[in-house]
A and B are shown apart, each in its own frame.
Chain A
Amino acid sequence: MTRTKCETDTRGNFSPMLKLVMRRLLFSVPLFFFVCSTSYVLIALIPGSIAQTILGINATAEEYEAVNRSLGLDRPFLERYLNWFSNALQGDLGNSLYNSEPVSQLINQRLEATFSIIISCTLVCLVFGVTFGVISALRGGLIDRLLDGISALGLAVPNFFLGVILVQLFALRFSVFPAIGYVSLGESVSGWFHSMVLPVVTLSVSGIAVVTKQTRDAMRDVLGRPFIRTLQSNGVPQRSIIFKHALRNAAIPVVTVIGLVFVGILSGTVLVEGVFAVPGLGGLAVSAASTSDVTLIQGIVVYFTLIIISVNLVVDVLYGFLNPKIRNS
Chain B
Amino acid sequence: MKFLRSSTRRRSSRNSLRVVIAGAIVAGSMVVSASSSLAAPKKKILNVASLGFPATFDPAVNGGDYRGLGAFTSLAYDPLFVKTLQGTYAPGLATKGEFGPQNKSLKITLRSGVKFSDGSALTAAGVKAWFLHAQSVPGNTFQQTLKPLTSIKVEGQLGLTLNFSDPVPGFLDDLSQGSGLGMVASPKAIKGTKMATAPSGAGQYILDKKNTVSQITYVYIPNPNYWNKSAIHWDKVVVKVITDSTAQFNALVAGQVDVAGFAGVGNVDAAKAAGLKVSSTTNLLMGIAINGRTTGPLSNVLVRRALAHAVDRKAMSKLLGGKLGVATNQFAVPGDDSYDPAIKDLYAYNPKKAKELLVKAGYPNGFKFTGLSIAIAGQDVEARAFASYLAAIGVTFEPTIADIPTYLTQRFGNVHPTTTLSWGRGTVIQMYDNLWGLPTGYVSSDAKLAKLFKQVLYATPKNYSAAAKKVQNYIMDQVHFIMWSGVPQVGFSSPKISGAEMTKGRPIPYIIDFMPSK
Q: Do they bind each other?
A: yes
Interface residues of chain A, those whose CB is within 8 Å of chain B, are 48, 52-59, 63, 66-67, 98-101, 106, 109-110, 164, 167, 171-172, 175, 178-181, 274-277, 279, 283-284, 286-287, 290-291
Cα distance A59–B349 in the bound complex, in angstroms: 39
When chains A and B are docked, how far (Å) is the Cα of A291 from the Cα of B407?
A: 11
The answer to whether B87 has its CB under 8 Å from any CB of chain A is no
Does chain A have a CB within 8 A of B438? yes
Assess the A290–B251 pair: CB atoms within 8 A: no
Q: Once bound together, how far apart are the Cα atoms of A52 and B411, in whole Å?
A: 12
- Nearest 10 interchain pairs by C-beta: A55-B139, A179-B254, A179-B250, A279-B216, A63-B138, A290-B403, A277-B242, A180-B251, A277-B247, A57-B413
Q: Is the CB of B409 within 8 A of A57?
A: yes
Q: How far apart sit A156 and B484, CA to CA, in the bound complex (Å)?
A: 41
Smallest Cβ distance from B189 to chain A, in angstroms? 15
Q: Give me 26 A-to-B residue pairs in the complex whose CB atoms sit less than 8 angstroms apart, sorted by A's number.
A: A52-B409, A53-B405, A54-B55, A55-B139, A57-B409, A57-B412, A57-B413, A58-B438, A99-B55, A99-B56, A99-B197, A99-B215, A100-B196, A109-B213, A109-B216, A164-B246, A171-B250, A178-B256, A179-B251, A275-B244, A277-B243, A277-B248, A279-B213, A279-B215, A279-B216, A287-B243
Partner of B441, one of A55, A57, A277, A286: A57
**A275 touching B246 in the complex, CB below 8 Å, given contacts A54-B55, A98-B55, A106-B214:** yes
User: Measured between C-beta atoms, what is the minimum distance from B444 to chain A in Å?
Assistant: 11
Q: Which chain B residues (388-409) contact chain A, with CB distance < 8 Å?
A: 403-406, 408-409
Q: How far is the CA of A181 from the CA of B251 in the complex (A)?
A: 9
Q: Which residues of B contact A53 (CB under 8 A)?
A: 55, 405, 409
Docked complex Cα distance between A178 and B247 (Å): 11
Question: Across the interface, do B244 and A178 meet the contact criterion of CB distance under 8 Å?
Answer: no
Distance (Å) between the CB of A170 and the closest chain B CB? Answer: 10
Q: Which residues of B contact A63 (CB under 8 A)?
A: 138-139
Q: Please report the C-alpha to C-alpha distance between residue A11 and residue B411 in the assembled complex, in whole angstroms.
A: 72
User: Given that A179-B253, A179-B254, A291-B405 are known contacts, is A54 also in contact with B243, CB under 8 Å in the complex?
Assistant: no
Q: Which residues of B contact A275 (CB under 8 A)?
A: 244, 246-247
Binary CB contact string for chain B from 184 to 226 against chain A (1 if under 8 A, 0 otherwise): 0000000000001100000000000000011111000000000
B281 at the binding interface (Cβ < 8 Å)? no
Contacts of B216 in A (CB 8 A): 109-110, 279
| Contact of B505 with A by CB under 8 A | no
Residues of chain A within 8 A of B139, CB atoms compared: 54-56, 59, 63, 67
Q: Known contacts A55-B138, A56-B141; is A101 also within 8 Å of B247 by CB?
A: no
Q: A57-B411, A178-B256, A279-B215 are in contact. List 20 more A-B contacts (CB 8 A).
A: A52-B413, A53-B409, A56-B408, A57-B413, A99-B197, A100-B196, A100-B197, A106-B215, A109-B213, A109-B214, A110-B216, A167-B250, A171-B254, A179-B256, A180-B256, A277-B240, A283-B243, A287-B215, A287-B405, A291-B55
Interchain CB contact under 8 A, A99 and B256: no
The answer for the CA separation of A167 and B404 in the assembled complex, in Å, is: 25
Residues of A within 8 A of B256 (CB): 178-181
Residues of B within 8 A of A67 (CB): 138-139
Which residues of chain A are within 8 angstroms of B197 by Cβ–Cβ distance? 99-101
Q: What band does the interface of chain B fall in when counting residues whose beta carbon is under 8 Å from A? A: 35 or more
- Are B405 and A274 in contact, with the CB atoms below 8 A? no
Tell me, rounded to whole Å, the shortest Cβ–Cβ distance linking B477 to chain A.
26
Residue in B246, B403, B412 whose Cβ sees the most chain A Cβ within 10 Å:
B246
| Cα distance, A175 to B255, chains bound together (Å) | 10
Residues of B within 8 A of A109 (CB): 213-214, 216
Number of A-B contacts (CB under 8 A): 109
User: Which residues of the other chain, A, contact B240 by a CB distance below 8 angstroms?
Assistant: 181, 277
In angstroms, how far is the closest chain A Cβ from the Cβ of B257? 8
- The smallest beta-carbon distance between B436 and chain A, in angstroms, is 15
Interface residues of B in 231-289 (CB under 8 A from A): 240-244, 246-248, 250-251, 253-254, 256, 274
- The verdict on B143 contacting chain A, using a C-beta distance below 8 Å, is yes
Report which B residues bind A (CB closer than 8 A). 55-56, 138-139, 141, 143, 196-197, 213-217, 240-244, 246-248, 250-251, 253-254, 256, 274, 403-406, 408-413, 438-441
Q: Are B409 and A274 in contact, with the CB atoms below 8 A?
A: no
A167 cross-chain contacts in B, Cβ below 8 A: 250
Instruction: Tell me, rounded to whole Å, the shortest Cβ–Cβ distance linking A182 to chain B.
Output: 9
User: Which of A171, A178, A277 has the most chain B CB within a 10 Å cutoff?
Assistant: A277
- Across the interface, which residues of B come within 8 angstroms of A279, CB to CB? 213, 215-217, 241
Tell me whether A290 and B196 are in contact (CB under 8 A): no
Chain A residues contacting B138 (CB-CB under 8 Å) are 55, 59, 63, 66-67
CB-CB < 8 A to A276: which residues of B?
Answer: 247
Give min CB distance, B256 to chain A, whole Å.
6
Rounded to whole Å, the gap between the CB of B263 and the closest CB of chain A is 15
> Which of chain B's residues have a CB closer than 8 A to the CB of A99?
55-56, 196-197, 214-215
Q: Which of A58, A172, A283 contacts B412 (CB 8 A)?
A: A58
In the assembled complex, the CB of A324 is this many whole angstroms from the nearest CB of chain B, namely 47
Residue of A52, A63, A180, A275 with highest tally of chain B CB at under 10 A? A180
Q: Whole-angstrom distance between the alpha carbons of A309 and B138 in the complex? A: 42
**Distance between A194 CB and nearest chain B CB, rounded to angstroms:** 12
Once A57-B409, A275-B247, A276-B247 are accepted as A-B contacts, the answer to whether A178 and B439 lie under 8 Å apart by CB is: no
Q: Which residue of A lies closest to B56 (CB)?
A: A99
Query: How many whole Å from A97's CB to the nearest CB in chain B?
Result: 10
A277 vs B250: C-alpha distance when bound (angstroms): 10
A102 to chain B, nearest CB (A): 10
Cβ-closest chain B residue relative to A49: B409
Which residues of B sit under 8 angstroms from A291, Cβ to Cβ? 55, 405
The closest CB in chain B to the CB of A171 belongs to: B254
Please give me the residue from chain A that is nearest to B408 by CB atom.
Answer: A56
Report the bound CA distance from A57 to B197 in whole Å: 22
Q: For the complex, give the distance between the alpha carbons of A164 and B197 in Å.
A: 35
Q: Given A106, A172, A283, which contacts B253 in the complex, CB threshold below 8 Å?
A: A172
- Residues of A near B411 (CB, < 8 A) are 57
Instruction: Collect the chain B residues with CB atoms within 8 Å of residue A55's CB.
Output: 138-139
Cα distance, A134 to B487, chains bound together (Å): 58
User: Of all chain A residues, which has the CB nearest B141?
Assistant: A56
Contact residues in A for B412 (Cβ distance below 8 Å): 57-58
Q: What CA separation (Å) do A291 and B405 show in the bound complex?
A: 6
Considering the chains assembled together, what is the distance between the CA atoms of A181 and B410 in angstroms?
A: 31
Nearest CB in chain B: distance from A143 CB, A: 36
Neighbouring A residues of B413 by C-beta, 8 Å? 52, 57
Bound CA span A114–B168, Å: 52
Q: Do B244 and A274 have beta carbons less than 8 Å apart?
A: yes
Q: Which residues of B contact A57 (CB under 8 A)?
A: 409-413, 440-441
Q: How far is the CB of B232 from chain A (nearest CB, A)?
A: 26
Considering the chains assembled together, what is the distance between the CA atoms of A279 and B251 in angstroms? 14
Alpha-carbon separation in the docked complex, A98 to B253 (Å): 32
User: Chain A's nearest CB lies how many Å from the CB of B45?
Assistant: 14
Q: Is the CB of A56 within 8 A of B254?
A: no
How far, in Å, is A219 (CB) from chain B's closest CB?
40
CA distance in complex: A88, B190 (Å):
33
A277 x B251 contact (CB < 8 A) = yes
By a CB distance below 8 angstroms, the chain B residues around A290 are 403-406
Interchain CA distance A53-B410 in the complex, whole Å: 9
Contact of A179 among B243, B247, B438, B441 (CB under 8 A): B247
Q: How many angstroms from the CA of A215 to the CA of B404 in the assembled complex?
A: 44
Are B242 and A180 within 8 A (Cβ)?
A: yes
Which residue of B214, B243, B247, B412 has the most chain A CB atoms within 10 A of its CB atom? Answer: B247
**Complex Cα spacing A59 to B412, Å:** 12
- Docked complex Cα distance between A142 and B243 (Å): 44
Bound together, the chains give a CA A55 to CA B408 distance in angstroms of 11
CA distance A66 to B139 in the complex (A): 11
